């Protein structure tokens, strides 16, 4: 969601900065456009970083002794976070 929000903010800021030619006395639309573009870029980068951190997997190894046969049993499980939840 943050990647899409970053792209949307960047696009709205670009429209305000480059495409709108309206003069308003109490606000500078060009400056607001540049601020929105910067905020969109920052949010986009944060979204990429958070997505990269979420893709890590964890591997856990459990070792136990089977009481019936006195053999060592090793179980290994690998888990990855659910990537469909945040997309």
Q: Would you state the structure tokens that stand for residue 44, as one six-digit string?
A: 């986009």
For CA atoms 6, 12, 18, 24, the dihedral sign is negative
**Domain limits for position 7:** 2-79
pLDDT digits (tens, 9 = 90+) for 5-60: 999 999 999 999 999 988 889 999 999 999 999 999 999 999 999 888 776 667 77
Residue 85, pLDDT above cutoff 70: no
Number of domains making up the chain: 1
3-state secondary structure of 83: coil
Whether 42 maps to a domain, the answer reads yes
Whether 84 maps to a domain, the answer reads no
Whether 86 maps to a domain, the answer reads no
Q: What is the pLDDT of residue 70?
A: 75
Whether 28 maps to a domain, the answer reads yes
Whether 46 maps to a domain, the answer reads yes
Whether 87 maps to a domain, the answer reads no
């Amino acid at each position: 969601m943050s990647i899409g929000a970053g792209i949307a903010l960047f696009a709205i800021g670009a429209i305000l900065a480059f495409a709108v030619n309206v003069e308003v006395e109490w606000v500078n639309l060009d400056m607001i456009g540049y601020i929105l573009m910067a905020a969109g870029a920052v949010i986009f980068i944060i979204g990429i970083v958070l997505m990269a951190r979420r893709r890590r997997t964890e591997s856990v190894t459990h070792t136990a002794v089977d009481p019936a046969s006195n053999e060592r049993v090793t179980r290994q499980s690998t888990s990855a976070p659910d990537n469909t939840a945040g997309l």
